[in-house]
Amino acid sequence: MVKVSAISQLDLYGLTRRNMNCILLPKNATSITDEEQVTHIKKVLKSSVGDKLTIGEMGGKLGKATIVMIHQNEIVLSDITLNKEPPKKLDLTVVLALPRPKVLRRLIMDMTSLGVNRLIIVNSYKTEKSYWQSPLLNRIDEFVFEGLQQAIDTVPPVIELKKRFKPFVEDEFPALVGNAVIAHPYASHSWKSYLDELKCHSKAMPNVLCIGAEGGWIDYEVELLCQHGCQAVSLGERILRTETVVNVLLGHWLSN
């Protein structure tokens, strides 16, 4: 067994920092100056002059580039070719009750990596008021950036914050809904039976998915969402973490 003390700083970086399967660059960039990207290329990829990198242009295409110079704080590129379209987004809007800030970071990274097209973060009864003052909310773009580099993507999801639940559901939510579900552990309708019904009637997957935070939705919130077009579904008797629910459910959209 390897002791923790034997793990190098490089290994820790690779385990805990960004997993950069592509290097995402600003439009028309010909060099890499982001400190973490430069460190990743040098320390993790151990790239040298002449090596090729998988790159993407923010909001644009994916491709390759050749390293021509490596400086202390900059890596210069040439032969930049951007000729591959990014992966398609899921036809899905996720309505997420604001969770603990540290959980939100992971969720945004995961949902970005999985290709969610739009994320609406809402207040809920069980959302602590202090969460809305977290400095991590000002770093959402960073978490999206991490998710894009993980998934080899260039197009960020649209992310919106809605601090008033009832006005959002009553005034804005109906315009989103073509077919919507809300994950709720106490729903009488199971997720499995719901999927079977979709398959039986050759219907597409829902375009809206509502997921609560750690404490879940209260009955009033479930009822209000259902009044405006949602179907409540349950994953079973187990009470799951928000991250687990997100990844279990979104896997069904990926497989369709």
Q: Do 4-84 and 93-254 come out as alike in CATH topology?
A: no
Q: For position 4, what pLDDT does the model report? A: 30
- Tens of pLDDT, residues 157-183: 999 999 999 999 999 999 987 889 999
How far is Cα 127 from Cα 215, in angstroms, rounded to an integer? 8
For domain 93-254, the question of CATH label 3.40.1280.10 is answered with yes
Distance CA 150, CA 21 (A): 5
Residue-wise pLDDT tens digits, 238-250:
888 889 999 999 9
Tell me the three state secondary structure of residue 65: strand
Banded pLDDT at 201 (limits 50, 70, 90): confident
The pLDDT score that the predictor gives to residue 239 is 83
State the Cα–Cα distance between residues 11 and 251, nearest whole angstrom: 29
One-character DSSP codes across 151-198 = HT---PPEEEEE--HHHIIIIIHHHH-SSEEEE-TT-SSBHHHHHHHH
Residue indicated by tokens 């490596």 = 70
Burial (Cβ within 10 Å: 0-12, 13-18, ≥19) of residue 214: middle
Note the pLDDT of residue 193. Answer: 93
Spatial distance between the Cα atoms of 52 and 167, rounded to a whole number of angstroms: 51
pLDDT at residue 6 greater than cutoff 60: no
> What are the residues whose beta carbons fall under 8 Å from the beta carbon of 215, sequence distance 6 or more?
126
Structure tokens at 124: 């809920």
User: Is residue 124 within 8 Å of residue 96, measured between CB atoms?
Assistant: no
Query: If DSSP codes are grouped into helix, strand and coil, which group holds residue 238?
Result: coil
| Structural domain boundaries in the chain | 4-84, 93-254
pLDDT at 15 (0 to 100): 34
Indicate if the pLDDT at residue 218 is higher than 80: yes
Distance CA 96, CA 209 (A): 8
User: CATH topology for 4-84?
Assistant: Ribosomal Protein L25; Chain P (2.40.240)
* Mean pLDDT for the chain overall: 89
Read off the tokens for 68. Answer: 């021509």
